[in-house]
Amino acid sequence: MNLRTLTIPLLLSAGLMAASMTSVAKEKLYMPVVSKGFMLEFWQSVRDGSDAAARELNVKTSFVGPSDETQVDQQVQLVENILARKPNGLLLAALDSNALLPSVERAHAQGVPVVTFDSGVNSDIPASFVATDNKAAGAMAADAMGKFLGGKGKVAVVAHNAGTMTTTDRLDGFIEQMGRNYPNIKVLSPLYSEGDPQRAMNQTMDVIRANPDLSAVYATNEGCTLGVASAIDSQELAGKIKVIGFDSSDALVNFLKAGVIQGLVVQDAYQIGYVGMKTLYNVLTGHEVKKMIDVPAVLVTGDNINKEDIQNIINPPG
């Protein structure tokens, strides 16, 4: 065989390999998002952020979540459905830190990197966790409550899902800070509403009837806060029973302006989605990422709600 006949097959092989690599390079990465829900404005802002990052990165994405934040089994199935489509990576907010662990392990076995956001899983598998430091946010809520109550009173707690890390951390941060700094404030045992506004409203009315000396209520997410504020408003107790809640929506902002709510600990939901997508892309492209990325919360009150930096968070792009 002469050199020319040897060279032709090698050139053809090299050409096919180059064409194959070009085809792979042109194929967009698929980086889906599985959320804890999609109905609340918080999750819609998260989606706006992740979609914006996906457009900037020129990657494909999708955004799914269960019909409400009690549907753990439904979320597990959504993750399984996504994994069957062989994504390049997965951005996940876990409804239950243990129940979603087998799905995360399956993703890992399939070579699909996972970045968690908002609520993580009890595992070191995820490359990064993008969220508000919820213990610090809970402590922020406690300090606001302590200030509004003048350091004394009785506080009820209406929380969302008992199985999520967000609930646990927001409760622990609040209760620990109260114990450290406000010994004359009694914190009642938490009530769990699954983040359902109607259930949170009913629980608030019940705890008011059972505690005529109740001074305030602490609520741990958007649905809980809406239910608590609705109960206070319907009972004409605005200002008499203080409310510190989490998250922001048009309804919650209206309650804040009306004096039904005294303070909202607001996460930058848009940035959580945006940074989450960017972080997953960095993992897929071989860049080093931090194991924990904090997107800080802010306390919104009647005094600062009209400031530009606060408005940018409660009215994000999209």
- pLDDT, one tens digit per residue, over 17-29 is 333 333 334 579 9
Residue 268 pLDDT > 60: yes
**Does the pLDDT value for residue 234 go beyond 60?**
yes
| Angular region, 282: left φ>0, alpha ψ -120 to 50, beta rest | alpha
Output the DSSP codes for 22-56.
Answer: HHHHHSPPB--EE-S-SSSHHHHHHHHHHHHHHHH
Residue spans in the chain of domains classed CATH 3.40.50.2300: 29-132+269-295, 134-266
How far apart CA 291 and CA 308 sit, in angstroms, is 31
Helix 222-234 with 250-257: angle, nearest 10 deg: 40
Q: What is the pLDDT of residue 14?
A: 40
Q: Residues, the chain, total? A: 318
Mean pLDDT, rounded, of the chain: 91
Provide the CATH number for the domain formed by 29-132+269-295 in this structure: 3.40.50.2300
pTM of the prediction? 0.81
pLDDT at 137: 97
Question: Measuring CA to CA, how many Å separate 300 from each of 118, 247, 250?
Answer: 20, 10, 13
Q: Is the pLDDT assigned to residue 293 strictly greater than 60?
A: yes
Mean pLDDT of 204-214: 98
Provide the b/e sequence for 61-98 (b: ≥16 CB within 10 Å): bbbbbbebbbbbeebbebbeebbeeebbbbbbbbbbbe
Q: What is the pLDDT of residues 238-257, one digit of tens each?
A: 999 999 999 999 999 999 99
What is the identity of the amino acid at 40?
L
Residue found by looking up tokens 């005529």 in the block: 212
Amino acid identity at 267: Q
Q: Classify 127 as helix, strand or coil.
A: coil
Contact between 279 and 49 under an 8 Å Cβ cutoff? The reply is: no
Which run of H or of E encompasses 115?
strand 114-117
Q: How many CA atoms lie within 13 Å of 302's alpha carbon, on the beta-carbon side? A: 13
The whole-angstrom separation of Cα 72 and Cα 215 is 34
Residue 44 CA to residue 207 CA, distance in Å, equals 31
Which of 38-47, 69-78, 91-100, 299-308 bottoms out in mean pLDDT, i.e. has the lowest? 38-47
Identity (one letter) of the amino acid at 226? L
Buried b (16+ CB within 10 A) or exposed e, 7-24: eeeeeeeeeeeeeeeeee
CATH (residue range 134-266): 3.40.50.2300
pLDDT given for residue 26 in this prediction: 53
Q: How far is CA 179 from CA 138, 167, 175, 184, 264, in A?
A: 13, 18, 6, 9, 21
User: What's the pLDDT at 315?
Assistant: 86
The answer to whether the CB of 91 falls within 8 A of the CB of 57 is no
DSSP summary character for residue 60: B
Rounded distance between C-alpha atoms, residue 301 and residue 279, angstroms: 31
Q: What is the DSSP letter of 132?
A: -
